[in-house]
Amino acid sequence: MKHKVTRAAGTGFTHLVLGGYTLLALFPILLVIINSVKSKDGIFDSPLSLPTAETWSLVGFEKVLAKSPFIHFFGNSLTVTLVSLVLILVLGAMAAWALSEYKFRGSKLLAIYMAFGIMVPIRLGTVSILELVVKLELTNTLTALILVYVAQGLPLAIMILGEFIQQVPKELKEAARCDGVGEFKIFFQIILPLIRPAVATVAVFTMVPIWNDLWFPLILAPGEETQTVTLGVQQFIGQYVTDWNAVLASLSLAVLPVLVMYVFASRQLIRGITAGAVK
């Protein structure tokens, strides 16, 4: 009997802590979204209540969409993130394959060289990156951002994909070689499909920091044309800091796409992180 009581108490405590923390994690985000669809009075008089017929208002969103090319920023972010992601995954997998499959002079050294970027933040090279981008006449282009993000994402991608590639049974490759299949075909038609789960994991690790980055858009592509969502919101709020409707609406607009994506991808994402971490 005593055991049952302590167990029930333990379960209660567990859910209290986890539930409490979950509430803490969600509250600020929900608060902003709820208040973004209220009138100014509603926001200040009853910030903690849901919008009512009286306080319901989309004026904030109207202002944001009228005063800033938000959809355009969104497109920029999407372009930068997706192109970088594809390049990181394809180029990373190719390099990971080469480094783990072919042993040549200096292959170890090359692997260490590529792995260096995992621990050292690329931000520290900003002074020279900016010089280089200026020299290449790439300032205020999405290309500059993409190139930097690919360079930033490759090291981790190569490491994780490399570990998975090493687990592909040797027999598979040997069987293919015996059949006279070329090295490129082996990679694209045998290896790449086999490491799909790892690719999903790497995609998660890579995508989020690119989408959310402020530093490089601020430095390399601050022009109106090339602003990403993160930078756009930052600049917008700086300008309209006293217009609460607009600020809350712009924050909601920045949060919502990620929320929508998360609703669809959270299972895959959590599994990917768990699997990746066990490696």
The reply to whether 128 sits near other proteins by the rule CB under 8 A is: yes
Contact between 110 and other proteins per CB under 8 A: yes
Q: Among 64, 80, 99, 160, which residue interacts with other proteins (rule: CB under 8 A)?
A: 99
Which residue has 């998360």 as its token pair? 262
* Selection from 203, 116, 131, 117 nearest residue 161 by Cα: 203
**Across the strands, what pairs with 124?**
none
- What does the alpha-carbon distance between residue 252 and residue 55 come to, in Å, rounded to a whole number? 17
Which listed residue (57, 152, 201, 245) binds other proteins by CB under 8 A? 152
Nearest to 116 by CA among 160, 87, 146, 156: 156
Q: Which of 142, 211, 221, 226 binds other proteins (CB under 8 A)?
A: 211
**92 neighbors 161 (Cβ within 8 angstroms):** yes
> Taking CB under 8 A as the criterion, which residues in 255-274 touch other proteins?
255, 258-259, 262, 266-267, 270, 273-274
- Position among 53, 66, 119, 178 found at the interface with other proteins (CB under 8 A): 119
- 3-class secondary structure, 52: coil
Name 254's bridge partners. Answer: none
- Min separation Cβ 268 and other proteins, Å: 11
Query: Which one of 55-63, 67-75, 195-203, 245-253 is the stretch in contact with other proteins (CB under 8 A)?
Result: 245-253
How crowded is residue 177: how many other Cβ atoms within 10 Å of its Cβ? 12
Q: Residue 61 CB, nearest distance to other proteins (Å)?
A: 16
Which CB atom, from 14 or from 52, has the smaller least distance to other proteins? 14
Residues from 22 through 61 that contact other proteins (CB under 8 A): 22, 24-26, 28-29, 31-32, 43-44, 47-48
Tokens coding 212: 């959310």
- Give me the residues paired with residue 56 across strands: 38
Specify the residue, 82 or 218, whose C-beta has the smaller distance to other proteins. Answer: 218
The answer to whether 158 contacts other proteins (rule: CB under 8 A) is: yes
Q: Which is nearer to other proteins, 65 or 235 (CB)?
A: 235
The residue whose two tokens read 């895959």 is 268
Asked whether 199 and 133 are in contact (CB, 8 A), the reply is: no
